Amino acid sequence: MKLNNIGKIVAGIVIFIVLATFFFWYGTGKSSSLPQPSLDTPAIAQMKEKRCVEDKAFMSINHMKLLHNWRDSAVREGNRNYTAKNGNVYKMSLSGTCLECHSNKEQFCDRCHTYVAAKPACFSCHSIPAEVKK
């Protein structure tokens, strides 16, 4: 192998490593500005296994779809029980179920929504548990 080629390979490897780790080191300086939804609520503190209705990856991306399905199922079909993938059964209720665990709406839901400038117009009708409003 020619020396010239080895130089190119080394350069290639260096570029690869820089690119592959880019998001790691690029993120470190900025991470404090990302939303940090807090799980610090009495209901979650009591849980043995800290688990949402579905797993975290699913919830982060799909909680809006899940909520829309819950509403349609509860309001249109009168079915108010949701069976999760792991077999747990939840009452389909925004205030009664989601905000029962996530009773810190401002430090949880709102932190993310403010970050992405989303304003779900649910709480003009749905109540926020009293402890959150204080």
128 binds ligand HEC (CB under 6 A): no
Distance CA 8, CA 11 (A): 5
63 binds ligand HEC (CB under 6 A): yes
For ligand HEC, the binding residues in 3-22 under the rule CB under 6 A are none
Distance CA 51, CA 23 (A): 28
Among 16, 56, 81, 106, binds ligand HEC (CB under 6 A): 56
**Residue 54, C-beta contacts closer than 8 angstroms, at least 6 positions apart:** 62, 66, 84, 85
Among 10, 50, 81, 114, binds ligand HEC (CB under 6 A): 50
Amino acid at 90: Y
Among 107, 113, 128, 129, binds ligand HEC (CB under 6 A): 113
